[in-house]
Chain A
Amino acid sequence: MSGTALLQAIVDGILTGGVYALMAAGLTLIFGVMDIINIAQGAMVVLGAYLSYELSAKAGIPLLPGLLITVPVMFVLGVGMEFLFMRRVREADRAAMSILVTFAVAILIEGVLTRAFGVDYVQLHATYIDRSIYVLGFYLPWIYLIGFGLAVVLLVVLYWMLYRTQFGRAVRASLQNRTAADLIGINVDRTRMIAVGIGVAVTAVGGFAFGATNAFNPNSGYDLISRLLAIVILGGLGSIGGAMAAAVFMLVVNDVVAVAWSPTWAPMVFFFALVIVLSIRPQGLFGRSGVRAQ
């Protein structure tokens, strides 16, 4: 296996890692704020992909502008999910119940998508999707660059929101000390709801990137969520920076293994890595031990 192939794999890994980082950041944000693992995140990415598909194939709206529609739609979906379901879960059994609730939402989404679109695989199309630019001896597919670029932009926006806006402060405050947040007058319930909405809204972008680079059908959510879970837990539940680092790491390893060994074994590496890390450090690489649900 040549050095260039290896480097190419690393570059690919970084680029796709960026997109996964975005989706994982959304997942870990939801966990940080709600203490809930959103199993439906994968299904939502697929939903986002289908929305983009519908808009482009049926309404003729190109993929990128279509995001202006899909992102708000997914935001509303997230808000609705929090308001209708997550909020009603009793404090006592939060851990198990929330996983089941979000699993149920995932099944629901899959069912709706199957009814609407059937089980055939589709993929998003645009002129730039199959093209690459050739830079310094590497092929950089346009779609990966766009996806990565979008992810970076959104992560920056997310960071800015969290650290520079009043709302972001409210989110961080609710995260760090709920009682104090209550006492200052922060509407913790509403803050959480919006935070979940944001966490889900990012799946619209993830859906675009995912759908453009993979053939997908309603069932594709499972594979996705398993990877996202692995990433988020590896990075440490609640740590956005950890999720980002873990995403890039995992994807690079995945791509390198795919090139160096075999593409079919690559996904297993994901899970083995996760299992090994958790055996040694149950709270993940950057997780706060003892603070969160252990």
Chain B
Amino acid sequence: MIHPGARTAAARPPGTLLRRGLLGGVIAVGLVVLGIFPLVVTDPTATSIAFFTVVFMGAVSAWNIFSGYSGYLALGHAVFFGSGGYAVALAARDWHVSGGWAVFGLLPFGGLIAAAVAIPFGLIALRTRRHTFVVVTIAIFFIFQLAAFNLGFTGGTSGIQLPFAPFSPTTYNNPFYYVAAIILVLTVILSWAVRRSRFGLQLLSIRDDEDRARGLGVHTRRVKLAAFMISAFPVGMLGGLYFYFIGQIFPQYAYDPLFDVSLALMGFLGGIGTISGPLLGALVLESLQQYFTQKFSANGLYLIIYGVLFLAVILILPGGVVPGVAGLVRRWRVRTQRQSAEAADAAPRGVAGAIP
């Protein structure tokens, strides 16, 4: 009944070794580039663009852990970004942390605050689904923005200053860049670990068919909330880092609706739900955006390009670049497989391994 060759054939589709080798190679190259970029390209404009890009790559990866894997589109992650920023700013001020490397030590605190904020946020928002969920995340985002404007301890419209970082002017950007890079790598590892864990599998099953997942024993509410919190932590850290780099934080910048939309756009462009997709999306879009802002500083133009790009991505490549390419590769592989199978095959049907 069992086709003898089936086991090995199923476990090792042709080209796996090649694929894995390629992947390993790409990762190695990527890490090397990540590591030596500021040493090779010393122009401060370039390194600051690189910094912003790396920050967004990390943020989108973290966002993807929730929205990509669970299928719930969250458009309120700016809440975590800004909250992390405020947490670090306030801690630096109130705990008298002087500028320099010490402030980096506050970043995990920023992450924790963001994760803590995710709890009530998630409890409210995750009671709803689909349209309403998205709108609730937007609504809660605006609550935070308005709170930041109005509450005393956030400094209102003038915001809070972060400590001055006494890094050497020529390589000023580099410490920030490297910290961002470390957070990025950790986030990607986290994303990968979640993806291959049972927890990740449960998340993905929720995305495909939440009711059936429940029926199979998945504790959907817990899983969703946990994912929400996990995705908040890195975003909070990156927020703290970002605003430390900028030097100050105030409400419309900390809680910027465009941030929410950017995360979604980058995720969708690259391929939501994959690991490499968000990285690709952020890499392309953020560097483009920064380039435009630096070169043209004509705010309107990049918004227009954003909007057009967004529309193009959603309408033409609804799955994103990475899944689109992956789909093409798979179809090509199936076609070649089928051709070779037809050529070699002469065995009669009716064997269990050949189910139509």
Answer whether A and B touch in the complex at a CB cut-off of 8 Å. yes
A residues touching B (Cβ–Cβ < 8 Å)? 37, 85, 88-90, 93, 95-97, 99-101, 103-116, 119, 218, 222, 226, 229-230, 233, 237, 262, 264-265, 267-268, 271-272, 274-275, 278-279, 282, 293-294
Of the candidates B146, B307, B308, B318, the one whose C-beta lies within 8 Å of that of A93 is B318
Are A103 and B140 within 8 A (Cβ)?
Answer: no
User: How many B residues are at the interface, by size bracket?
Assistant: 35 or more
Of the candidates A109, A233, A268, the one whose C-beta lies within 8 Å of that of B132 is A233
A101 to B75, CA, bound (A): 13
Closest to B140 in A: A275
Are B73 and A282 within 8 A (Cβ)?
Answer: no
Are A101 and B314 within 8 A (Cβ)?
Answer: yes
B128 contacts chain A at the CB level, 8 A cutoff: yes
Give the residue among B75, B131, B147, B149 with the most A Cβ atoms within 10 A: B131
Closest to A105 in B: B307
Are A278 and B134 within 8 A (Cβ)?
Answer: no
Encode contact with A along B132-153: 1 for CB under 8 Å, 0 otherwise: 1011101110110011011000
Nearest chain B CB to A235 CB, angstrom units? 13
Are A100 and B268 within 8 A (Cβ)?
Answer: yes
Closest to B136 in A: A278
B31 contacts chain A at the CB level, 8 A cutoff: no
B165 contacts chain A at the CB level, 8 A cutoff: no
Nearest chain B CB to A163 CB, angstrom units? 27
Are A268 and B146 within 8 A (Cβ)?
Answer: yes
Nearest chain A CB to B321 CB, angstrom units? 16
Chain A residues, Cβ within 8 Å of B150: 262, 264-265, 268
Nearest chain A CB to B237 CB, angstrom units? 26
Main secondary structure of the interface of B (DSSP, over half): helix
Of the candidates B124, B149, B264, B307, the one whose C-beta lies within 8 Å of that of A111 is B307
A275 to B127, CA, bound (A): 11
- Tell me the residues in window 96-137 of chain B with beta carbons closer than 8 Å to chain A beta carbons: 124, 127-132, 134-136
Nearest chain A CB to B68 CB, angstrom units? 11
Closest to A266 in B: B146
Closest to B256 in A: A222
Give the residue among B130, B301, B306, B314 with the most A Cβ atoms within 10 A: B314
B326 contacts chain A at the CB level, 8 A cutoff: no
Chain A residues, Cβ within 8 Å of B264: 100, 103
Known: A95-B130, A111-B307, A114-B303. A275 touches B142 (CB 8 A): no
Nearest chain A CB to B204 CB, angstrom units? 16
Chain A residues, Cβ within 8 Å of B129: 282, 294
Between A and B, 8 residue pairs with Cβ closer than 8 Å are A37-B135, A96-B73, A99-B73, A104-B307, A275-B143, A278-B124, A278-B136, A294-B129
B299 contacts chain A at the CB level, 8 A cutoff: yes
Nearest chain A CB to B281 CB, angstrom units? 13
Chain B residues, Cβ within 8 Å of A115: 298, 300-301, 304
A112 to B298, CA, bound (A): 11
A96 to B70, CA, bound (A): 13
Are B302 and A226 within 8 A (Cβ)?
Answer: no
Nearest chain A CB to B253 CB, angstrom units? 13
Of the candidates B143, B149, B268, B303, the one whose C-beta lies within 8 Å of that of A264 is B149
Chain A residues, Cβ within 8 Å of B311: 85, 101, 104-105, 108
Nearest chain B CB to A2 CB, angstrom units? 25
Chain B residues, Cβ within 8 Å of A222: 257
Nearest chain A CB to B143 CB, angstrom units? 5
Known: A97-B318, A101-B315, A265-B150. A237 touches B306 (CB 8 A): no
Chain B residues, Cβ within 8 Å of A265: 150
Nearest chain A CB to B171 CB, angstrom units? 34
Known: A101-B315, A229-B139. A294 touches B306 (CB 8 A): no
Known: A268-B150, A278-B132, A293-B130. A103 touches B310 (CB 8 A): yes
Chain B residues, Cβ within 8 Å of A111: 299-307
Are B132 and A294 within 8 A (Cβ)?
Answer: yes
Closest to A272 in B: B143
Are B132 and A271 within 8 A (Cβ)?
Answer: no
Known: A37-B131, A267-B146. A100 touches B314 (CB 8 A): yes
Q: Apart from A115-B304, A278-B127, list 20 A-B contacts with CB within 8 A.
A: A37-B135, A85-B315, A89-B314, A95-B134, A97-B314, A97-B318, A100-B73, A100-B265, A110-B300, A111-B306, A114-B299, A114-B303, A115-B300, A119-B299, A229-B135, A264-B149, A282-B128, A282-B129, A282-B132, A294-B128
